[in-house]
Structure 1
Amino acid sequence: MLRPPLALFVLSSSLFTAFLHTSALTVPSDEAKLLSSRSDAPSASDFDVLYQGNQAFRAKDPALLQDLANNGQHPPFLFIGCSDSRVSEGTVFDAKPGTFFAERNIANQYSRQDSNIRSILAYGLEELHVKHVVVMGHYGCGGVAASVATPPSLPWDEATAAIQQWIAPIRVTYQTSERKEVVEMRHRNQGNGTVSAPALHDAGFRALVEENVKNTVKRIASDTMVVELLQDSAHPFFIHGWVYDIENGEVKDLDVSVGPRGSTIPAIPFHASAASLVRRH
């Protein structure tokens, strides 16, 4: 079960003692000992990899960082991906700072009711004039897998409810998709009292990952804000749906790109998925 985040305040022992004496907050002595002696408290070694990585990053191209600071960002891509730690856009594409304006959430979702992602899309299109919106899902996505598995038993705590509500649109896709592989997976799971999350190489699971990306592309392209902006010929842009293979690093185009009416979709060097059923708009 997920727990709410715990805010950690790091104080010197003298300041912490003074704080306890002067603050209206009273910490029982046993809890005070716990705060200072927790075995799972962060240590310097926890951050070594981040510090060393940052040092290497700073030394790599300081001129680029200075240029971006002086002249601002002009990213050609707006990336909508999954929060999964294995699929960072900067890492997957070995991209330099200034390449992506990005938003990542569980299972790369888009909803008009989500003001966070909608404002990111609006700013990227209207202010930064990005040329391409890239929606990228990935095989083995935990959010998609959870939408196949039996939901946790009720009652739900707040954290469980938040997760289950977020993946609800993917459950709808799983339950209604007519794609052959998803239908077959659904039939296999019918009648089972408890359905487990599918295995990485399950064909239905992989197909559902792709269908989820396609649905995100559709939701973005059908947003009235986006429809209006697509008609602005002064700043044309395209929306693409891709999928990433976490096993080998391959990126595949799902052949569902959308652009201004009458425009030619730019050539995309990533090979289209053979299983993709939706043709390019």
Structure 2
Amino acid sequence: MLNSRVTTSLLQQPASAAIRRAFISSPPSSFLSSPLVRSGPLRFPTSAPSLLRHCSSDSHSSSSSSPSSQPSNPNSKIPNVANPASDKSTWRTMAEKDISRYLRQTHDRVFEHNRAWAAEKKKADPDFFANLSAGQTPEYLWIGCSDSRIPAEQITGLEPGDAFVHRNIANLVCNTDLNVMAVINYAVRHLKVKHIVVCGHYGCGGVKAAMSAKDLGILNPWLRNIRDVYRLHEKELDAIKDEEARYNRLVELNVIEQCRNVVKTAGVQQSYAENSFPIVHGWVFGFNDGLLRDLQIDFEGMLKDIQKIYNLTES
């Protein structure tokens, strides 16, 4: 509920970053006729007078502008809409002020909602933060994608303290990535997590990028890990004629391979031999219905298979 209110409040802001960039880089006449303005969900003002009022207002609230309101500085130069090129600097100055106000508003609202969340939690449970500060004993280690649309706790109903979370592009577990290796080691050896979840999602931009034959600069070595997954399962994937279905299957196979990489680690192997946990799971999230799909990883079978070569149970 709280995050939805944050999202709603952000969408109620004067304009999105995309619209603002278009406003700065485009002459006013072309900007006012662009699809971003005409049909955008934020309903940015489309007439020159209302646009000027909107950009020059000093109010912190987008609702303060009305069709009859005047610019906050009546002595300021009003851009000549008939000849926008001659007043480009004025338009740009007004847009930059609007962007600065927008950034301040979106920053401040996060803290407003944080205070509301803290008050709500304390009201529901007066000991909530005392218990939270006592330490963490999460049941889950979550290794997910950095995609902003997949907050682990929200889609699973977990509470603060329930999951130790690591996220990166395309939910990769690379043995050369000291970040994810340290996370797994700490979660297993010190936090004693019972479940390790590798969660991918359909529509993953990282997986899609890896399927394209393009030089993506610094992303190349990272995405090569996904391309290697394609190489390992080339026959299966090439047999899928539908491109979207092939894309979705690569998402699933990537999750399975990353689960296998988790199982290869010494911490997981040794903890399981001693404690019978953690168990490794592979899940995929779908945006179309908001549901998680369990790929039914055979953890014990996978562990047995890899230990022919990757057996690290001896400390």
Q: Normalising by structure 2, what TM-score?
A: 0.59
Deviations 1:256-280 (A, max 9, x none): 1425999xxxxxxxxxxxxxxxxxx
The 2-side partners of 1:173 and 1:252 are apart by 20
Structure 2 residue corresponding to 1:184, chosen from 216, 233, 239: 239
Asked if residue 67 in structure 1 is aligned to residue 131 in structure 2, the reply is yes
Deviations 1:240-270 (A, max 9, x none): 00000012110011011425999xxxxxxxx
In the TM superposition, 1:130-145 aligns within 5 A as: 130-145=193-208
Q: 1:56 is matched with which residue?
A: 116
Asked if residue 114 in structure 1 is aligned to residue 177 in structure 2, the reply is yes
Contact 1:79–1:100 (Cα < 8 Å) also in 2: yes
The 1-side partners of 2:113 and 2:168 are apart by 24
The 2-side partners of 1:84 and 1:230 are apart by 30
TM-aligned CA distance change 1:244 to 1:224, over 3 Å: same
- Report how far residue 48 of structure 1 moved: 4.4
Structure 2 residue corresponding to 1:163, chosen from 219, 222, 242: 219
Q: Normalising by structure 1, what TM-score?
A: 0.66
TM-aligned CA distance change 1:247 to 1:227, over 3 Å: same
Asked if residue 79 in structure 1 is aligned to residue 161 in structure 2, the reply is no
Asked if residue 146 in structure 1 is aligned to residue 209 in structure 2, the reply is yes
Contact 2:188–2:267 (Cα < 8 Å) also in 1: no
Deviations 1:220-259 (A, max 9, x none): 10223322222122x6211100000012110011011425
- Report how far residue 54 of structure 1 moved: 1.1
Structure 1 gap ranges (5+) = 1-33, 153-159, 189-197, 263-281
Overall identity of the aligned pairs, in %: 30
**Which protein is bigger by CA-based radius of gyration?**
2
- Report how far residue 60 of structure 1 moved: 2.4
User: Where is the helix percentage greater, Structure 1 or Structure 2?
Assistant: 2
Deviations 1:63-112 (A, max 9, x none): 3222110x201110000000000111022123211011010000000011
Q: 2:33 is matched with which residue?
A: none
Q: 1:245 is matched with which residue?
A: 286
SS class of match (2:157): coil
Structure 1 residue corresponding to 2:261, chosen from 213, 219, 224: 219
TM-aligned CA distance change 1:99 to 1:179, over 3 Å: farther
The 2-side partners of 1:106 and 1:237 are apart by 24
SS class of match (2:166): strand
Structure 2 gap ranges (5+) = 1-92, 304-315
Letter in 2 for 1:66: A
The 2-side partners of 1:144 and 1:261 are apart by 23
The 2-side partners of 1:238 and 1:229 are apart by 10
The 2-side partners of 1:209 and 1:132 are apart by 21
The 2-side partners of 1:179 and 1:240 are apart by 25
Letter in 2 for 1:110: V
Q: 2:161 is matched with which residue?
A: 98
- Report how far residue 52 of structure 1 moved: 3.4
Count of aligned pairs: 204
Structure 1 residue corresponding to 2:249, chosen from 207, 216, 219: 207
SS class of match (2:210): helix
The 2-side partners of 1:257 and 1:120 are apart by 23
CA RMSD, aligned part only? 2.5
The 2-side partners of 1:133 and 1:114 are apart by 17
The 2-side partners of 1:79 and 1:165 are apart by 23
TM-aligned CA distance change 1:231 to 1:261, over 3 Å: farther
The 1-side partners of 2:132 and 2:167 are apart by 22
